[in-house]
Structure 1
């Protein structure tokens, strides 16, 4: 293999993890010194700060006025489970899965809720099911962006405006990075720890009027834990969507979310966040186009994620390795880059094909990705030379 010179410049921040993700540029613990600590979150100022997180996200994302926006426990996972356990069972459901989290939701519906009329449609890592064939007489559950596969839905054109079922979307690594067709979505979930670079533990849940109607008209056959209950006496508990959280939130995490939102507003809001993400993704795509040993896991450009960019190693030397040795070699490459301080946490997800996964969301600086690309070439050359000795 041709010798690759060791790069002289490292990224200023080597944080390229797909979750929790990089903090916003210039972040410091000092930004949180005015956090509402040691007080009840139910005090007027506590509720005001929680409501500010809701209202500012609504404004930045352009969420319709008649949609409900709430903060719920358990990060994005909690928000998705809340929706599944509270709303499913009223009509047949289709689970679309092309990566590990979508597969997890399908498992919950089939094995935990035990819904008899649950259809599971899957695709391999790097691919996506035939979305145009979706039956919208059924409820449909899907991830907008597959963080572990680097695959996203290309747009919302496949979602019927005349649907009878609900469109339930796990959008945790898409919101703030990709345009969302809110009018075509009935339930949308995400967490602060992804594109905002906030802290984990809290999830966001958006409900369309159709989703609210489902909650108020449908009583599940199974018992609901307290943290999943969104209705009382057949009516929506409206306080959840005004900052009156179901359980006690971390007001330190709330302050961090407010700090992230202030930064998002300063760079042009939701559109500014999307623009930064797309510019970051282009740095990687330009590098892949001229690099012989790597390619996207998703072969179709229309479905490639711009946040969690998943790459496979295509070099003949690597593909000739035994199947069990390929993940080991990929992990060794990640270890080489981590030891050099060039990149942290860019290994493939444990269930995904061996390769790299690089976060390119808005909190990552374009210059850091530009500095990373030569390190990837050097790291791979070092890996290959080490194995061939």
Structure 2
């Protein structure tokens, strides 16, 4: 991976923070944007800013073409069968809420089961809590092993004939665990259940094939994969989306309306009420172009190297606890004994190193880990082994500093 060349594509990475070159290690929260994506957004607003699907004038036609071209790029990127299966949303959270509300509440009844993992982000936990409360269904959890992984035999025992929905993150945003969602989907389907995959932390970092995974629903966000904020994708198998009622109504999602009734437009527009994030969608298409140019297999291979190097380096520091399995995605969450994660993050920021401290929207998981919060360093393909060395030195500096203070 030619990171030297790649980094020149990202204007923000050239700056200094607190007198130090920026080391940006908060990619699980949001990624930085290459100049090509920034230029795409500027070009939209400067040259063909217009609403889509409504006007027949020139600007509206160009905007609609670019908007739908981006949908096709995204379809190919995750290997969906049809653009009818690609729904634009605000992000992963919005997508998962649409599934839990539009599909879950309409199809769950008392006695049904929803099964999720203990490592879910709140966005793939709270919507299912709400769906269970609204329908009388019960919420169950897979057992999680001590190293933060799932055992497929435990999965098989947990999913029963009463299970109607299985929801699982493909990559944990805290532990870096890569879950076997393809195998979990197979077990779910054997019991007649629908498989929902949170792909927020996987789609930016590895090749995704929703047909191979056999996911019934799959959700991800644009801003974690070089795209703008406020844009995401809900993938759903066409038959399931066809059967769903829209979660929101109004605008271009209708076919015909009179004073007492309405009918819906075809997919995907049936699920896209109101004026969409047009610039965001087109910008996400540009991000997909950039990722395809690098190659998702190359990105995955390189980030696996970064994750392994970080795990080994941070684990070797005495007094530091690293959470999650050795085989992991490109992130490492840890704590320094006796030092609050926010203090560690502040100390690292003083050296220009941006990490995340907190519960990472996974409070139940942190209770399982017997800590309130962690420090998380998360990597992307523009990060380097030298930056991991800086992180390691920064952790040692923080440990020494607070050791003297305490």
Q: Distance in 1 between matches of 2:82 and 2:387?
A: 38
What is the aligned partner in structure 2 of residue 115 from structure 1? Answer: 135
Task: Say if 1:136 and 1:86 are closer, same or farther in 2 by CA, change over 3 A.
Answer: farther
Distance, in Å, in 2 between the alignment partners of 1:382 and 1:123 is 39
CA distance in 2 between counterparts of 1:271 and 1:343 reads 26
Give the deviation of 1:135 after TM superposition: 2.1
In structure 2, relative to structure 1, the CA distance for the partners of 1:80 and 1:228 (3 Å cut) is farther
Q: CA deviation at 1:348?
A: 4.7
> Does the 8 A contact of 2:311 with 2:326 survive in 1?
no
Q: Matched residues in 1 for 2:310 and 2:228: separation?
A: 26
Q: Distance in 2 between matches of 1:227 and 1:98?
A: 37
Q: What are the Cα deviations for residues 210-255 of structure 1, in whole angstroms up to 9, with x where unaligned? A: 523543xxx6xxx9432899897887732439xx943323344334
Q: 1:280/1:97 Cα in 2 relative to 1: closer, same or farther (>3 Å)?
A: same
Task: Give the equivalent residue in structure 2 for 1:334.
Answer: 345
Q: Secondary structure at the match of 2:235?
A: strand
Q: Deviations over 1:158-210 (max 9, x none)?
A: 3225452210122111113245462320000011011x132221220111245
1:28-39 to structure 2, matched below 5 A, reads 29-30=38-39, 32-36=41-45, 38-39=49-50
**Structure 2 counterparts to residues 358-377 of structure 1, below 5 A:** 358-377=377-396
| Other-structure match for 1:14 | 23
Higher relative contact order (CA 8 A, sep 6+): 1
Q: Give the drift of 1:338.
A: 1.0
| Aligned alpha-carbon RMSD (Å) | 3.5
1: CA distance, partners of 2:401 / 2:129:
41
Question: What are the Cα deviations for residues 46-92 of structure 1, in whole angstroms up to 9, with x where unaligned?
Answer: 222222222222223333458711212x3111111111111124243
> 2:37, 2:263 → 1: CA distance?
45
* Residue from 139, 144, 154 that aligns with 2:170: 144
Is the aligned partner of 1:98 residue 2:118? yes
User: 1:168–1:185: 8 Å Cα contact kept in structure 2?
Assistant: yes
Give deviations 1:98-138, integer Å, cap 9, x for gaps. Answer: 24423323322234xx1212333266797356323242642
CA contact (8 A) 1:12 1:368 kept: no
TM-score by length of 1: 0.76
Cα distance between partner residues in 2 of 1:341 and 1:368 = 11
User: Where do 5+ consecutive residues of structure 1 fail to align?
Assistant: 1-9
Residues 183-332 of structure 1 correspond to what in structure 2 (within 5 A)?
Answer: 183=211, 184-194=214-224, 196-212=225-241, 214-215=243-244, 224-226=247-249, 237-240=266-269, 245-268=272-295, 270-298=296-324, 300-301=325-326, 304=328, 306-313=329-336, 318=337, 321=338, 329-332=340-343
Cα distance change of structure 1 residues 363 and 201 upon mapping to structure 2, 3 Å threshold? farther
Say how many residue pairs are matched: 350
- Counterpart contact for 2:116–2:140, Cα < 8 Å: yes
Aligned partner of 1:86 in structure 2 is 102
User: Does the alignment pair 1:46 with 2:63?
Assistant: yes
TM-score, scaled to structure 2? 0.73
Which one of 18, 26, 32 corresponds to residue 23 of structure 1? 32
Structure 1 340/182 Cα, relative in aligned 2: closer, same or farther at 3 Å?
same
